[in-house]
Amino acid sequence: MKKTLTKRTIDELVDEIKSKVELLRGTTIENATNKDIYYAISSIVNEEINKSWTQTEENYKQKQPKQIYYLSMEFLIGRLVESNLLNIGLLKECNEAIVKLGYSPEDIYAQEKDPGLGNGGLGRLAACFLESMASLSYPGHGCGIRYRYGMFEQRFINGHQTELPDYWLKEEYPWEIRKAEEAVEVHFGGEVHMFKKRNGSLEFRHENTDKVLAVPYDVPVVGYNNQVVNTLRMWSAESPAVESDLQTSHTAQYYHHLEHNRSIEQISGFLYPDDSSYEGKILRIRQQYFLVSASLKSILREYKQNVRRSLAHLPEKVVIQINDTHPSLTVPELMRILMDEEGFGWEKAWEITSNVVAYTNHTTLSEALEKWPKDMIKSLLPRLYMIIDEINERFCQGIWFDYPELRDKIPEMAIIADDQIHMARLAVVGSFSVNGVAKLHTEILKKQEMKNFYALYPEKFNNKTNGITHRRWLMQVNPKLTSLITETIGPRWISRPNELTNLLRYSKDRPFLDKLGQIKRANKESLANFIHEKTGIVVDENSIFDVQIKRLHEYKRQLLNIFHVIHLYNELKNHPQLDITPRTFIFGAKAAPGYYFAKEIIKLINTVASIVNHDPEIKGKLKVIFLENYNVSLAERIIPAADLSEQISTAGKEASGTGNMKMMMNGALTIGTLDGANIEIKNLVGDPNIFIFGLQSEEVFEYYRTGAYVARDIYNTDERIADIMNQLNGGEFGSQEIEFKDIYYHLLYNNDPYFILKDFDAYTETQQLVDQEYRDKDTWLSKSLINIAHSGKFSSDRTIQEYANDIWKIQKQ
């Protein structure tokens, strides 16, 4: 596409910022606050983006390429001002202009509210994917929900997590555009009437429904250096209030109206803060249908306007990727539209639908698999229920007649079973592609969780190992490392991240490794300053920065990490002269508000921190820092400073992980289990450059199968574990008594379901190896470089290229 970016000098930018401050903010540059400057800059950026945005849309209209719509209940996009500046090629200039005006770029960019419209990995992946699609010039867009309240803000009070509402829209969000004229109606409830038409066929009329207005807010998705701007469309629920309705003279009616409006606006009211645990809440299914129905209407309207061909050709022009099962009502909703509104018969509608929808699975945890009570769907979405029922009937009959060898599996494959609708089954049956997010995960789907479906549809299953955008997660967050890489191997790695392997030649190059060491050191200093500012605690920049940042979940085993900390502390108390490499343990994690055990672990980490950090006998050799309110912005500060990346989930449980990729790309070494993408990291960097420990997934599955693991045996035989456990059970920790009886009892009486005690020995031993290896700075740096050099494989550009080639069959524009 034509390159028309307005290149500016720094002085021109300075002038533009000044005049924007005056024009938009009604103040002078002398009196401008950080916020004034932030809004001025975002307006300049927006003007630049908007030109490319209309051009991109125009281009798609003319060429009518096949387009991909990524449907997701979550988009964790992070702040946009810096990434947009980077992608339009103005970041360096803008930084300098800000400095010239006497402000700090970091402070200016921090004015932007970080929209927390996602829980964790799944939402952040969606954001990386959109960025890569735009940067690779693919016509791909996101469809999501514009929640008024995002992920809660986390505060610690006496070490306990408390949740504060995140009203992120309090101040104007400069990147969204409300498109009121493109609003669509979404219908809930009502009755379905069946008519026999003259020709004998049946017609369904859906009447007396509750109408909700879905209003789109579009956010630009800016490609890197290519003038492409795609769209993230987020739907907001509004009441389709008719003026005259509100002027009703009846007070009772009037209040009924207000009440009704409130319940409508609830639909896009807040993000459910549950990660990996399903709850059958009616509001959540309303949210899901709202997203699906509004997005489909908008997609089909666009198709009709531009393509002007029968919807029979939809699969040639549209592919819908559903991010986990959350948008899986896409299948029956598209069927409904094609049959009831477009007049297709069942077979044709099914052919179209199942060739448009593709499904990504992100978890095998059974508690995360969505199952909706069938009566709930029946009353909320009666027509969709009929269609799901019919899909199920035909599916089960198909097995019965065509796959007799699977007959006895029907009860565990049926979409409707035990009065519940199994959404993963619906998604597999109604799509043409089912993918896992790392090799091991996909194998587990094929061989275990979905083995019957794999027997039925082997051709649907495929793997797409996750990735992260190296533009945000390297270039933006670590400009010093970025410059060093470019000075060393030239700039081609930016468009071909695989070429980072050219760095391997420098793995023994002293001057280069020195520079790498200085950069890590500088990043650690700046994180240390931030930690001091936030917590008042001074950390040693020479210590190992040992980082575990992710949602708090038992399977992710933050508990194993803190057990190791407690063990080191006990050792130091018993042997004050013990020679250990100083460490700073850094945690960031939110627990789902209703997840009691996860909250206990938070409280434990905070308790350990407050004792360890203030114990003079430890002489600063250990520090434990639990940073509040972990989110994308905080990740961006921590990741460039990490030495050691903790990826220690129970093997077989973490579908992929993406934090592992982000830290590797910034030169951290991984300590991890053979789980998710860790395995693929290991295979690239090689055993000497990663610290692998613990049970493997087959062993874990075998223990679950046989029940041969007895946690108490370990408690009885490993003194270190007995000590820790007894401390939790009301024992002494330092000079304080602590009490975490629930953790104690859970591990012993629920038989340690995540193998914390079982893996403890291997973990501490491997941590000792880390301690030893960190002392040899040059070797460590060399390993760090090898990790960076192999991280190009984990650019989401590679992932998106694979989706585009294998699933979507779309072309670059």
Among 293, 433, 613, 656, which residue interacts with ligand 26W (rule: CB under 6 A)? 656
DSSP state of 457: -
- Three-state secondary structure along 413-439? HCCEECCEEEHHHHHHHCCCEEEECCH
Annotated active-site residue 362? The verdict is: yes
- Cα 33 to Cα 27, 100, 137, 167, 712: the distances in Å are 9, 15, 37, 22, 60
Kindly tell me which of 656 and 666 has the beta carbon lying closer to ligand 26W. Answer: 656
CB of 77 to ligand 26W, least distance (A): 15
Among 131, 654, 759, 797, which residue interacts with ligand 26W (rule: CB under 6 A)? 654
With tokens 């035909």, the residue in question is 394
**If binding is defined by CB under 6 A, does position 430 make contact with ligand 26W?**
no
Annotated active-site residue 451? The verdict is: no
Contacts 24+ apart (CB under 8 A), 404-413: 406/452, 406/455, 406/456, 409/452, 412/452, 413/452, 413/453, 413/456
Among 293, 363, 606, 764, which residue interacts with ligand 26W (rule: CB under 6 A)? 363
Among 119, 227, 230, 353, which residue interacts with ligand 26W (rule: CB under 6 A)? 119
Side-chain half-sphere CA neighbours of 690 within 13 A: 28
**If binding is defined by CB under 6 A, does position 324 make contact with ligand 26W?**
yes
The residue with its CB nearest to ligand 26W is 121
**If binding is defined by CB under 6 A, does position 598 make contact with ligand 26W?**
no
Q: How far is CA 789 from the centre of its chain?
A: 24
Among 105, 121, 588, 640, which residue interacts with ligand 26W (rule: CB under 6 A)? 121
DSSP state of 803: I
Among 141, 297, 362, 790, which residue interacts with ligand 26W (rule: CB under 6 A)? 362
**If binding is defined by CB under 6 A, does position 125 make contact with ligand 26W?**
yes
Measured distance CA(91)–CA(686) in Å, rounded: 36
Kindly tell me which of 276 and 501 has the beta carbon lying closer to ligand 26W. Answer: 276
Annotated active-site residue 551? The verdict is: yes
Annotated active-site residue 4? The verdict is: no
What amino acid occupies position 625? I
Q: How far is CA 49 from the centre of its chain?
A: 25
**If binding is defined by CB under 6 A, does position 466 make contact with ligand 26W?**
yes
Q: Which of the ranges 234-242, 330-338, 564-572, 649-657 carries the binding residues for ligand 26W, by CB under 6 A?
A: 649-657
Nearest to residue 174, comparing CAs of 36, 18, 76, 31? 36
Among 48, 131, 302, 370, which residue interacts with ligand 26W (rule: CB under 6 A)? 370
Measured distance CA(395)–CA(457) in Å, rounded: 12
Measured distance CA(486)–CA(698) in Å, rounded: 42
**If binding is defined by CB under 6 A, does position 287 make contact with ligand 26W?**
no
The answer to whether 161 and 591 have CB atoms below 8 angstroms apart is yes
Catalytic residue chosen out of the listed positions 520, 556, 623, 746 = 556
**DSSP string of 245-258?**
HHT-S-HHHHHHHH
Tokens of 418: 């035990």
Kindly tell me which of 275 and 302 has the beta carbon lying closer to ligand 26W. Answer: 275
Nearest to residue 466, comparing CAs of 443, 488, 436, 495? 436
Catalytic residue chosen out of the listed positions 286, 441, 460, 662 = 662
CB of 650 to ligand 26W, least distance (A): 12
Q: Which of the ranges 119-127, 161-169, 527-535, 626-634 carries the binding residues for ligand 26W, by CB under 6 A?
A: 119-127
The answer to whether 41 and 19 have CB atoms below 8 angstroms apart is no
Subset of 290-309 contacting ligand 26W (CB under 6 A): none
Q: Which of the ranges 274-282, 292-300, 387-395, 576-584 carries the binding residues for ligand 26W, by CB under 6 A?
A: 274-282
Kindly tell me which of 275 and 759 has the beta carbon lying closer to ligand 26W. Answer: 275
**If binding is defined by CB under 6 A, does position 275 make contact with ligand 26W?**
yes
Q: Where does 362-432 have alpha helices with state H?
A: 374-380, 382-402, 410-413, 423-429
What amino acid occupies position 591? A
Site size for ligand 26W (CB under 6 A): 23
CB of 677 to ligand 26W, least distance (A): 7
Across-strand partners of 780?
none
DSSP state of 806: I
Annotated active-site residue 556? The verdict is: yes
Residues 669-688, one symbol each (x = binds ligand 26W by CB under 6 A, - = not), give -------x------------
Kindly tell me which of 606 and 658 has the beta carbon lying closer to ligand 26W. Answer: 658
DSSP state of 501: G
Residues making contact with ligand 26W (CB under 6 A): 119-122, 125, 274-278, 324, 362-363, 368, 370, 437, 466, 654-658, 676
Where in the sequence numbering do the catalytic residues fall? 362, 550-551, 556, 658, 662
